[in-house]
Amino acid sequence: MEDEQLLDICLKVTGAFEGGTPRYDAVTGNFDGQGMSIGILQWNMGQGTLQKLLGEIGASMGWIKARAFFPLCNIEALALMSPRVGIAYAIEHFLHVGNNRVLSLLSSIAWKLFLNTPESIAAQRAYATSTVLRSAHLLARRFVPEAANSTRVIAFFFDVVTQEGSMRTVEPIEGPASSGPALYYAATENLACTERWRSVVGTDLLAQKLLYYAYERAKLGNPEYMWDALARRGTIATRVGIVHETPIDLTAVLD
């Protein structure tokens, strides 16, 4: 399957957990200390990814056109700013005075118009493909070489990279994997979700292995969000589950 199709599948899976397909014109304020976040994968100032994407969009559409969307600030300079300077610039120029968790009305309109341009949409897809999807392919080949081209495997690691960045210290395993510890922990959090997973892993070796990896990676994250992480990835692994109290069925999306 071509990367263009794989990206659409991965975005659809991600959207299933967030209440809808990610939007190209999505823009949020400083709710997480990252300054502001934009686009289908919420690239942000704090990690420098917003600046990189902005540079790609500006190079594609031309900075004269890009500046027309933001007449009161130097959008071209923003693409070159460090994370620390970029966050401060966003707070000063784009965010609501007195509540920097949201954008000002005019800034929100400007960013949404800018992000919905054909050049922006193309740049977002290209950037997502060359970074997150590429990393997902590499992880798939390392951790599940026997099914590295599976849409389920690619979507699993796409979610890992998007949410966590990497598998950290989790090591690949050969042969069958035990999903027992994951199911035991899941039963303490959401029994209905656990039963959905249990109905699959008994006969699905790929689900067993991915659920094992989901649990091992979730243990390495913030304990406060361990179940959230496992719920997402366990649901991709088995293609069914419950995330944020919402039943999810991905059997028509993933192989």
**Collapsing DSSP states into helix, strand and coil, what is residue 121?**
helix
DSSP state letter for 129: I
Domain identity same for 85 and 178: no
Same domain, yes or no, for 153 and 238? yes
In a domain, 218, yes or no: yes
Q: Are residues 150 and 239 in the same domain?
A: yes
Note whether 95 and 152 are same-domain residues.
Answer: no
- Based on the fold, state whether residues 160 and 95 are members of the same structural domain: no
pLDDT at residue 69, as a whole number: 97
Examine the fold and report which residue of 115, 137, 166 is the final residue of a domain before the chain moves on: 115
Q: Look at residue 102 and tell me if it is in a domain.
A: yes
**Contact yes or no for 245/190 (Cβ under 8 A):** no
Q: What is the DSSP string of 100-120?
A: EEEE-HHHHHHHHHHHTSHHH
Domain boundaries, position 241: 146-249
Q: Does residue 49 sit within a domain?
A: yes
Regarding whether 154 and 84 lie in a shared domain, the answer is: no
| Residue 246 β-bridge partners | 243
Total structural domains in the chain? 2
End residue of a domain, out of 115, 137, 154: 115
Question: Are 100 and 170 within one domain?
Answer: no
Are 38 and 27 a contacting pair, CB within 8 Å? yes
pLDDT means per 10 residues in the chain (255 residues)? 96 89 92 91 94 97 97 95 95 90 94 98 98 98 98 98 96 94 98 98 97 98 96 98 96 97
- Coil vs helix vs strand at 69: helix
Residue 19: what pLDDT? 78
The answer to whether position 240 is within a domain reads yes
> What pTM does this model have?
0.94
| Any domain includes 13 | no
β partners of residue 96: 99
Residues 240, 171 share a domain:
yes
Say whether both 92 and 154 belong to one domain.
no
pLDDT tens digits for range 215-249: 999 999 999 999 999 999 999 999 999 999 999 99
In a domain, 141, yes or no: no
Residue that the structure tokens 């249990």 belong to = 198
- Domain co-membership, 78 together with 152: no
Residues 162 and 231 grouped into a single domain: yes
Residue 97 lies in a domain: yes
Domain boundary among 71, 99, 115: 115
Are residues 190 and 107 part of one domain?
Answer: no
Whether 45 maps to a domain, the answer reads: yes
**For 167, how many CA atoms within 13 A lie in the half-sphere containing its CB?**
21
pLDDT of residue 214: 98
